[in-house]
Amino acid sequence: MSIPQVLTLTLTLIATAGCSALRGGPAVEVSTDDATLNSRWHANLASPANLAGAIQMNGSATMAPGSGDNSTTITLNLANASPGGVHPWAAHRGQCGDGMDNGVLGSGEAYPPLKIDSDGRATETATVSLPTPRTGNYFVVVRASTANAGTIVACGNLAPPTQ
């Protein structure tokens, strides 16, 4: 047998051993984290068009099952905000836009205010005592301040989990 034939045979054996269908263990591992990931709602937040040039906040939000069967965790990440600012926020039923708000999801007290750091960023989490919705329309809204709660500075519609 020539050297090229020996090398070819050796490489074939190595490749076959590495891809062996007889190797033990499952082909795909599934964990409980996968179940949570597939039940997570997502939103991209942005400042409304009427604030263009004045405020350009952006961010993301998720809504997912909490630690118990009767809880939902909502997490908000906000960027490009004024450092030192404090903003009320909440998840609501409905959609971003005038006349589309059907009320806060859960108790308003569940949502701690967003405190913007020196880089213009904030992250906050709220846990509401409701099962995570499977269908419907929901959004996350950030308001200018408690004194100016009528001004929305960022909003994002939550997209349902993929099925």
Whole-angstrom Cα distance, residue 106 to residue 93? 10
Per-residue pLDDT of the chain (163 residues; tens, 9 = 90+): 676 665 565 656 565 555 545 555 555 554 444 444 578 999 999 999 888 778 899 999 999 999 888 999 999 999 999 999 999 999 999 999 888 899 999 999 999 999 999 999 999 999 999 999 999 999 999 999 999 999 999 999 999 987 6
Whole-angstrom Cα distance, residue 150 to residue 161? 30
pTM, full prediction: 0.75
Q: How far apart are the first and last CA of the chain?
A: 56
CA distances from 21 to 12, 14, 17, 25, 30 (A): 15, 14, 9, 10, 19
Going by C-alpha positions, the residue among 89, 114, 115 that lies closest to residue 104 is 89
